[in-house]
C-alpha cells in the first residue's frame, strides 16, 4: 500500500520527493517535498495531494494519512525536525 500511495502522489507531482511511513497498514504518515508547492498556500498543497489519493481512501484500507508538505527551501530549513 505504501508504494501505491507514493505512486499516486508522484503521478500528480512527478518532481516530488515522497516519504511514506506505514506503522500499521491503515494509518500512514507522509512527507511530500515539491517545487510545485512554491507560492501555493498550505491548504492547496494538501488538497492537491489528497485529491490524488481520494480513490485509495474510497476503495482500500487507507483510513488516515498524516500529511506534511514542503517546498524544497522550507524542507531544508525544517528537515532537522523530522530526521534524526
What's the pLDDT tens digit per position in 33-78? 999 999 999 999 999 999 988 876 676 666 688 999 999 999 999 9
pLDDT the model gives residue 22: 87
Average pLDDT over residues 6-27: 91
Burial class (CB in 10 A: 0-12, 13-18, 19+), 58: exposed
The predicted pLDDT at position 60 comes to: 63
Residue 27 has pLDDT above 90, yes or no: no
Taking a C-beta distance cutoff of 8 angstroms, is the pair 18, 32 a contact? yes
The residue with greater pLDDT, 26 or 84, is: 26
Amino acid at each position: 500500500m505504501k508504494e501505491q500511495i507514493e505512486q499516486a502522489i508522484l503521478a500528480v507531482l512527478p518532481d516530488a520527493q515522497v516519504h511514506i511511513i506505514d506503522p500499521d497498514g491503515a494509518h500512514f504518515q507522509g512527507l511530500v517535498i515539491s517545487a510545485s508547492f512554491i507560492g501555493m498556500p498550505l491548504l492547496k498543497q494538501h488538497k492537491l495531494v489528497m485529491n490524488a489519493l481520494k480513490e485509495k481512501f474510497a476503495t482500500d484500507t487507507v483510513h488516515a494519512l498524516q500529511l506534511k508538505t514542503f517546498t524544497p527551501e522550507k524542507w531544508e530549513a525544517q528537515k532537522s525536525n523530522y530526521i534524526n
